[in-house]
Amino acid sequence: MAGIYVHIPFCKTRCDYCDFYSTTLGERLAGIYVEKACGEMRLRRDYLGGAHVNGVYFGGGTPTRLSIPMLGRLCDCIYDNFEVDKDAEITVEANPDDLCDEYVSGLCNLPFNRVSMGVQSFNDALLAGIHRRHSAAQAEEAFERLRGAGIGNISIDLIYGLPGETVEQWEADVAKAVELHPEHISAYALTYESGTPLYKRLQAGEIAEADEELYLLMYGFLTDKLRQAGYEHYEISNFALVGRRAVLNSSYWKGEPYIGIGPGAHSYDGTVRRCNIPDVERYVAAQGDVPHETESLNAGIRYDEMVMTRLRTCDGLDTGEVERVFGKERYEYLMSNAAPAIKRGLLEEYELDGRHIEMYEKVMNIFDAVGLGAFTVVGIDTAVLAGYGRYHFLIIFLGVITGVGGGLLRDIMAGETPYILKKHVYACASITGAVLYAYLQDYMNNDVAMLIGAGSVILIRILAVKYHISLPNLKGEN
């Protein structure tokens, strides 16, 4: 199977936290862009090699800034140039205040059978703080309007750790989401991306980032509440009712091929990753193929990505697939490194149509709150799968120092030292604590090892504060 992603780069206004490629030039360029995107589809119609497409996703930007006829034109081009299954999931991202009665009616006349709505919060003050242009009431009204029009598959996005957000406010957001009962919920920890207005406000001291404890508390409440409401926690940041996992996102985590259309869109054919240059004016002006860059992935990179992405999901990593794709030697290397983590309960082995290993949910929580980037400094195979065991202690320590040092050098050259330094120090503190805790488990009581690990994090914090470096959290994607 394969997927199609169409990037609609137009927004009415830019949200303060967003670093996805978008522009406010939609009124001038939308029509030209649509025709160019159709041209890209025709030019690259063989990219997926005739594979059947089971997931199409219109993302952005804000796809609902395009008129219904424009969206219809793009849908027609997709069906004309690719083998789309009759029961494929066709998703469009939407902003709540775009979803008036007329627009929703228009969407229902197009192939879309799923709407992903960027709610972010049901609190008006928090929404205003990140420059979202809809209100909480508009989000609820849009949801009910979609339901009333017969859209039976709705996803909503939420963000936690917003500036000034309290646990009580987050609990109210989650409760409202459960009350609406969408088929899918994505919830992400707020990240402060370099160059965004929110990042600049953070640097200027106008706002403060939530600390790790608050993120973990919010994430823990989220997972517990949604599980009680019948949602499957199928990926670190994603929750779905039975049978309602996001199809295209799931294909990314499975390593399936997909084609990305539009400026800033990514494609992957199994060995080569392609990224269209994120510049809509260059995109529409291009003759022939659009401006893009490519990266060939060797076996080592593809192995690391397989391990990293599969362990993000509740299905875990199919170890038999590792052997089939990368050979017996890599499989044995994987299982050898995984053994200490399995012994400690960080990973679990199970059989379901093959041999799998999955991550223990409490470790998933740490992955989300502390950040995948911190754990992949020396490669996911030697860090997470080693369980931070004593055989890899030196490798991990040297990897962390090298990674932090290299990151600092890059950031200093980019002129971003003040904030980035804080992130790297915090990452170092968190990893040091995790390494010490897991390493010492082999030699002493678990509670004592935990106290020493936690103490090392606190000590690094104290030293950093002493030298006037506050320590905000380093978080992962999404």
Mean pLDDT of the chain: 83
Q: What is the pLDDT of residues 116-148, one digit of tens each?
A: 999 999 999 999 999 999 999 999 999 999 999
Q: Per-residue confidence at 340, pLDDT binned at 50, 70, 90?
A: confident
Q: Residue 168 — φ and ψ, nearest 5°?
A: -65, -40
Q: What is the pLDDT of residues 194-227, one digit of tens each?
A: 899 999 999 999 999 998 889 989 999 999 999 9
Sequence-separated contacts (24+) of 229-232 with Cβ below 8 Å: 229/178, 229/181, 231/185, 232/314
The pLDDT value recorded for residue 417 is 45
Q: Per-residue confidence at 247, pLDDT binned at 50, 70, 90?
A: very high
Q: Decide the pairing of beta strands 266-268 and 272-276.
A: antiparallel
Contacts of 303 (CB under 8 A, 6+ apart): 322, 326, 330, 381
Q: Is 64 in contact with 93 (CB distance < 8 Å)?
A: yes
The pLDDT value recorded for residue 283 is 97
Q: Per-residue confidence at 383, pLDDT binned at 50, 70, 90?
A: very low
Q: Is 65 a residue whose pLDDT tops 50? A: yes
Q: Per-residue confidence at 26, pLDDT binned at 50, 70, 90?
A: confident
Which of 209-218, 258-267, 439-448 is the most confident on average?
Answer: 258-267
Which of 125-134, 296-305, 360-369, 404-413 is the most confident on average?
Answer: 125-134
Q: What is the DSSP letter of 64?
A: G
